[in-house]
Chain A
Amino acid sequence: MATASAITAEREHYLNADYGFRSWLLTTDHKRIALLYLISITFFFFIGGFFALLIRLELLTPQGDLVQADTYNKLFSMHGQVMIFFFLIPAVPAVLGNFLVPMMIGAKDLAFPRINLLSWYLFIIGGGLMLYTILTGGVDTGWTFYVPLSTAYLGTHVVLAAVSIFIAGFSSILTGLNFIVTIHRMRAPGMTWGRMPLFLWSNYATSIIQVLGTPVLAISLSLVGLERMFHLGVFNPQLGGDPLLFQHLFWFYSHPAVYIMILPGMGVVSEIIPCFSRKRVFGYEFVALASIGIAVLGFLVWAHHMFVAGISLYSAMVFSFFSYLVAVPSAIKVFNWTATMYKGKIYYSTPMLYAMGFIGLFTMGGMTGLFLASLGVDVHVTDTYFIVAHFHYIMVGGMVMAYLAGMHFWWPKISGRMYPEAWGKLAALTIFIGFNLTFFPQFVLGWTGMPRRYHAYTPEFQVLNVLSTAGSTVLAVGYLLPMVYFLWSLRYGKEAGDNPWGAAGLEWKTASPPPTYNFEETPVVTWEAYNYDDLPKEVPVVG
């Protein structure tokens, strides 16, 4: 980071305010903590991605001949755990959220800066433990840790993995806690709830889920740990322990966790679409309240992961009904984004390409969710590749696309540099094509009955698996490109002014990269959320 070039050297900002390891490892500046998170989660993204490539290579042939069964089980378990707990959950809240939440509400920093640094250290300790688990033999419980398999029938580092996720969970709780208090108590004068950017609304909703859901994951993993270490077998079948009780506790957190992963992505897209359509977002209040609706209703639907697990008929119908209710806010958001583009002035910059890709792929992900919420269809497709395709469409097609959109959109603000536009568009296209080639065949695989987590499969599924593996290589290349040209842009990127996109929002009112205290003096907000009517009609950078 200290390689910022000479041109910006004379103006004091958060990157050159201080140098040396101490200034980074003991910082309480929310912007520096965001960069620390950026580096850590990118590291874990490539570890998880590496496991994914191994899985796809293994599935090229029906008989499992690249790795043994146990290794394959470890591969998909660690792919799931690393990607979910160490990339997807922290990605937008901890990187973009940490950087932007204080700036967007006009504050100098988050409510508890020291707790923010503690949150990063907990993430690093959890990550270190997970790395240790991986290097010393891995864990093969799947990311779901189902009992009694994880408590009584596995010899791998289950407790170590559970402890590492427990600690990473606390990091997530502290981030959520910080955002809730900051958004409630530290808004600039004039920044009413109705004038807050939608990115803040979705991060606020995400924090509600992080704070209310993560502790239940903590207790369920602790109970698994206690049963393995001290034989205090709350889920021990011999003592009448009910494996479904673990599933209830686990999914009570893990379904809202998928909303922790997608809501921030929706927030990013709600910022980008209006900026590149040069128009207010359509139905601001509905999109804002839809985020809160998703957060609240998201807690009533968890047992749609257990329709065939053995829960009672009537309880399954209750959860199926609520699962359809929670689909409505997501539908509202998609329709509002599309309506925002109507009669706008559309620019094709890279963030907008990613955002449009997000709308398409997230819609496909959401629509297949409607298949799964219906009890009859779920009995056939659950635990098959249809489910794998569904959640990858939402996590990779939705969340990672939105994360990359956000990174490209706010990179000028973070680094004071422009990324190379042509390369950006190329990467976006490669990722879009690679993604669809990888995961669309898996819908058909799932519908024709290929089960999940299979090391070897029956020959008739081979053709679609080969297609999917081909797609995954294209996707891998697509993900390497942004990392390369972002680093390249740090030294050779064009100088980005305060507001290269002509975007609305307090963060574009200050310099880029911003000074350590964000604003010379606390701004007073007198305008509505997306006042593109009185902003320049064209995107300065594109001209």
Chain B
Amino acid sequence: MSDSSEALATHELRHHFENMEQQRGASSMGMWVFLVTEIMFFGGMFMAYLAYRYEYFVAWQEGSQHMNFWIGTVNTAVLICSSLTMVLAVLAIQQGRRRLTSVMLAVTICFAMAFMVLKGMEYHEHWLAHEFPGSAFHFAGIDPRHVEMFFVLYFVMTGFHALHVLIGIGLVSTMLYMNERGHFSADYHNPIENTGLYWHFVDLIWIYLYPLLYLIGHHHVS
């Protein structure tokens, strides 16, 4: 068993790397450099949030009251569980247990789907309450224009995050498919590790989005 995985591993060694160790170090460093670009991408949106929160604090409080507190909290828990199953998948493949890896990857996908479903319900709820920015938006409370800006930022930030969750689902499914085809082993599993890094990053962004969008006000309407 080991020599075939050994052969598999060397087969995977790209021609220009000296050894597997150098290739793994390079690929995880490359992934982290990519994640830094994602941090700066979302950083632009956090900048807009911070600037407008400073300017229109009353509207930010008012807008946050109309967030669905419970769906937000449950979604945070769902993403944390999906992070757990993802890291267990990486652990399983490191120990060469391919069956367990596939199971863990599948569970991660289910959690991610659950997150998207909950997010869809939440968006639908806001749509019905005329809280989607644009001509249909109307808001009875204080300072409606700046509250509309709060909802603009809510939909932009959670929208881009949901897009990254979708990309994550695509990546994890590809890993599941390739793992089923016996592409990975205890010696060669860089792609799964990098997909794990990407998925934990998506969770990390939500860990910050949750308090900033859902937890500003003190009493929760819904």
Contact = CB atoms under 8 A, between A and B. Distances in A.
Contacts of B56: 240
Interface stretch (B30-38, B174-182, B203-211): B30-38
B44 A107 contact: no
Interface residues of B, number: 39
Contact of A232 (B25, B44, B55, B155): B155
Nearest to B154: A232
B140 interface: no
Interface stretch (B70-78, B97-105, B108-116, B142-150): B142-150
Nearest to B39: A215
Contacts of B156: 223, 226, 232, 234
B118 to A, nearest CB: 21
Given A180-B33, A232-B155, A234-B156, A241 B149 contact: yes
B84 interface: no
Given A112-B30, A211-B33, A232-B156, A220 B133 contact: no
A216 B51 contact: no
Contact of A234 (B25, B30, B48, B135): B48
Contacts of B17: 186
B15 A212 contact: no
Contacts of B37: 173, 177, 211-212, 214-215
Given A223-B48, A234-B156, A240-B55, A185 B26 contact: yes
Given A177-B33, A215-B38, 16 more contacts: A108-B16, A109-B15, A111-B26, A115-B30, A177-B34, A181-B29, A185-B22, A213-B40, A215-B41, A215-B44, A220-B44, A222-B160, A236-B149, A239-B148, A240-B55, A240-B59
B44 A181 contact: no
Interface stretch (A144-152, A242-250, A360-368): A242-250
- Chain A interface extent, by class: 35 or more
A233 B150 CA distance: 10
Nearest to A114: B14
Nearest to B144: A239
A230 B151 CA distance: 13
Contacts, number: 109
Given A231-B133, A234-B156, A242 B22 contact: no
A214 B55 CA distance: 27
Nearest to B150: A239
B33 A249 contact: no
Contact of A216 (B41, B145, B153, B155): B41
A440 to B, nearest CB: 38
A395 interface: no
B7 interface: no
Nearest to A177: B33
A239 B146 contact: yes
A185 B29 contact: yes
A218 interface: yes
Given A111-B30, A113-B16, A231-B133, A245 B51 contact: yes
A211 B30 CA distance: 11
